[in-house]
Amino acid sequence: MVNEKNKKNYQPLAERMRPRTLDEFVGQEEIVGKGKLLYRAIETDNISSAIFYGPPGTGKTTLAKIIANTTKSEFKQINAVTSGVAEIRKAIDEATENLKLYGKKTIVFIDEIHRFNKLQQDALLPFVENGTIVLIGATTENPYFEVNRALISRSMVFQLKSIEVCDIKKVLRRALTDERGFKGTKIIIDEEVLDYFAQNSGGDIRKALNALEMAVLTSDKEDGAIKITIDDARECMQGKVLPYDKNGDNHYDTISAFIKSMRGSDPDAAVFYLAKMLEAGEDPSFVARRIVICASEDVGNADPMALVVASSAANAVEMIGMPESRIILSQAAIYVACAPKSNASYLAIEKAAEDVKNTGDAKVPPHLKDAHYKGAKDLGNGIGYKYPHDYKGNFVVQQYLPDSLKNKKYYLPKGIGYESKIIERLKRLWSK
């Protein structure tokens, strides 16, 4: 058996240093600072169903454990990765019994709740609804995408953000002096080393503590003291952690920022987000497709070459592959970002599609109908059609839209870039 003294040695530093009370909790001041709603709910033991949502190492599980330490309710923990419907039902049966026999509430904490399928989440719903259990869910995924809407509507959602560098340094310093950490161990560590751990952990306290622990266990000793150098820190941290999940919020938020930077004509921001995606392992073909869409939706005919450049880049990416594709994508993204902008083509198809839905079967004018088959003229098809190439300038005024829409304007060029020439030409033609 492992006694309590030795048990500490088996636990990672991050687990040993996990805060036990709200006073020890670091970061997330906007939701769990003194006087905030969540702080008051935990302190007064009046917690209601809640979802804690945020990146790894930001305190979701820690908050649940603090609730477990402070509440007078029964507290049950379920891990969505290893648990099934049977374990949920067992927890609910026990919660029902506690409520009936002892009038005692049960808090059920489900770590990684997004891993539960719809059936498993549905099994929780009636018992959350009738108050049999108070549900605390933790997830790294956006709950509005991954958790049943009915559960979301009955829970408060608290978004935890990446921990600030200054807060991570507080935890690292505490680990060096706390009895649960390295109190009693002589460690020489410069401020720049703590900075390095904090700045390169990606806002994840657990990663910073794991790196510190590795450094303490593996660094050389000088005169009986463990000396941790910046080189030791680099080796233990193994590079900066990029907070980017190709299927999660960082994926959607970063691609959104990338597109909006191109749309907003900021090539520097566009190439920064491009670099972030590629360094995190994003599929370059996915990025190329977004550039092509932006070239048409946001640049359009203000610079028709933007679509040509973007499409060529997409083809080249498929042919070349990484790492050279990053250069091609950079060129295309910068071109689109620097190009004049017009969404007139996008607005035109949106308005036209709306009219198609709302006007039903708007008839093609008879003179535009197909007249190539025998008997077409007997039906009136093609009669009166004017062939533009028979007229001066290869243009003649005639009606092309259905009668019900004949004066409708969908494409309204904005006079930016090449569209200024388009406006001049359309005015010249249609004013005849």
Instruction: State the average pLDDT for the chain.
Output: 86
pLDDT of residue 373: 77
- By CB atoms closer than 10 A (0-12, 13-18, 19+), residue 319 is exposed
Give the pTM.
0.61
Give the number of other Cβ atoms within 10 Å of residue 32's Cβ: 21
Distance CA 134, CA 50 (A): 8
28-159 is a CATH 3.40.50.300 domain: yes
What is the architecture of the domain spanning 165-237?
A: Orthogonal Bundle (1.10)
Considering only residues 11 and 262, tell me which one the structure prediction assigns the higher pLDDT.
Answer: 262
pLDDT of residue 423: 86
At the top level of CATH, which class does the domain 249-338 belong to?
mainly alpha
* CA-based R_g, the chain, Å: 31
**pLDDT tens column, 132-178:** 888 899 988 888 888 888 888 888 999 998 888 999 999 999 999 99
205-240 burial: b if 16+ Cβ within 10 Å, else e: bbbbbbbbbbbbeebeeeeeebbbbeebbeebbeee
Q: Is there a contact between 76 and 96 (Cβ–Cβ < 8 Å)?
A: no
Q: What is the DSSP string of 282-298?
A: --HHHHHHHHHHHIIII
pLDDT of residue 234: 86
Q: Which residue has the tokens 């806002």?
A: 203
Residue 159's contacts (CB-CB under 8 Å, 6 or more residues apart) are 31, 53, 54
Kindly state the greatest CA–CA separation across the chain.
Answer: 107
Q: Is residue 246 scored above 70 in pLDDT?
A: no
Q: Is residue 247 scored above 60 in pLDDT?
A: no
For 24, 27, 75, 132, 430, the CA distances from 98, given in Å and listed in that order, are 31, 35, 11, 9, 80
Distance CA 354, CA 356 (A): 5
Distance CA 309, CA 299 (A): 12
Distance CA 387, CA 398 (A): 10
pLDDT of residue 89: 84
Q: Is residue 315 scored above 70 in pLDDT?
A: yes
pLDDT category at 264 given cuts 50, 70, 90 is very high
Averaged pLDDT, 176-187: 89
What is the architecture of the domain spanning 360-430?
A: Orthogonal Bundle (1.10)
Sorted by where each begins, the domain ranges of the chain are: 28-159, 165-237, 249-338, 360-430
pLDDT of residue 2: 45
Averaged pLDDT, 294-322: 93
